[in-house]
Amino acid sequence: MKDKIKLIVVLLFIVIIAVFFIFKSKSKVETGVKGNSDVKVPNLVLYDQYGKEHNLEEYKGKVVVINFWATWCGYCVEEMPAFEKVYKEFGSNEKDVIFLGVAGPKSKENLNNVDVEKEEVIKFLNEHKITYPNLMDESGNSFSEYGIKAFPTTYVINKNGNLEGFVSGAISEEQLRKTIEETLKK
């Protein structure tokens, strides 16, 4: 009986490891629009954790990285330091690259949104020393408009304001940097 339990535990462990590696291997930058960079993305007009309004249309001429995330998402939390580092490397939104996180805090109007309340999201950002702008979508509309089905999901938008590519799942610091550099060259 003990041998059967050991065998089941070992098999379960192998399955868990296999699922983990399969999930990790799927988080590659997907373009799905290769050769066609005319795919428009929905405009975003939202306020960040500092109270500043961001309008995606105002960033034409720059590469924009939009990362949809949640405080409860382990992969989101794992990749945030890389986003913070690359955000600073590319000029802290003062040059040719704009970084925007998008959180979906619950609100009185939308209790079913994807995350905790706005104040808790801001506290989370401060505790994790995340300084890049994180937009607060208390309506949840941007999550629907961008078809977010998994966290994290990152979109890269080219200088013309069109979709360059996206990643559904975590993105490594190297992938993020390489994708931005390639998009800047176009």
Q: For the segment 96-123, what is each residue's pLDDT rounded down to a tens digit?
A: 999 999 999 988 887 778 899 999 999 9
Reported confidence tier of residue 47, pLDDT bands at 50, 70, 90: very high
Reported confidence tier of residue 26, pLDDT bands at 50, 70, 90: very low
- Higher-scoring residue by pLDDT: 112, 146: 146
Cis preceding linkage at 42, omega within 30: no
Check residue 39 and give its pLDDT. 87
Global pTM reads 0.80
The amino acid occupying position 84 is E
Residue 92, phi then psi, degrees to nearest 5? 50, 45
User: What is the overall mean pLDDT for the chain?
Assistant: 86
Radius of gyration over every alpha carbon of the chain, rounded to an integer in angstroms: 18
Q: How far apart are CA 48 and CA 77, in angstroms?
A: 18
Q: Is the model's pLDDT at 37 over the cut of 70?
A: no
**3 state SS for 71-132:** CCCHHHHHHHHHHHHHHHHCCCCCCCEEEEEEECEECCCCCCCCEEEHHHHHHHHHHCCCCC
Contact 114, 143 (CB under 8 A): yes
Reported confidence tier of residue 144, pLDDT bands at 50, 70, 90: very high
Percent of the chain exceeding pLDDT 70 equals 80
Check residue 183 and give its pLDDT. 95
Domains of the chain, with CATH numbers? Answer: 31-185 (3.40.30.10)
Based on the number of CB atoms within 10 Å of its own CB, is 126 exposed (0-12), middle (13-18) or buried (19 or more)? exposed
Q: How far apart are CA 21 and CA 27, in angstroms?
A: 10
Q: Is the model's pLDDT at 18 over the cut of 60?
A: no
Give the Cβ contact number of residue 104 at 10 Å.
28
Check residue 33 and give its pLDDT. 36
Check residue 36 and give its pLDDT. 46
- Higher-scoring residue by pLDDT: 10, 82: 82
Reported confidence tier of residue 34, pLDDT bands at 50, 70, 90: very low
Q: pLDDT tens-digit profile of 148-179?
A: 999 999 999 999 999 999 999 999 999 999 99
Contact 176, 65 (CB under 8 A): yes
Q: How much is the average pLDDT of 130-144?
A: 95
Supply the DSSP symbol for 36.
Answer: -
Residue 89 to residues 102, 155, 160, 165, Cα–Cα distance (Å): 20, 19, 22, 21
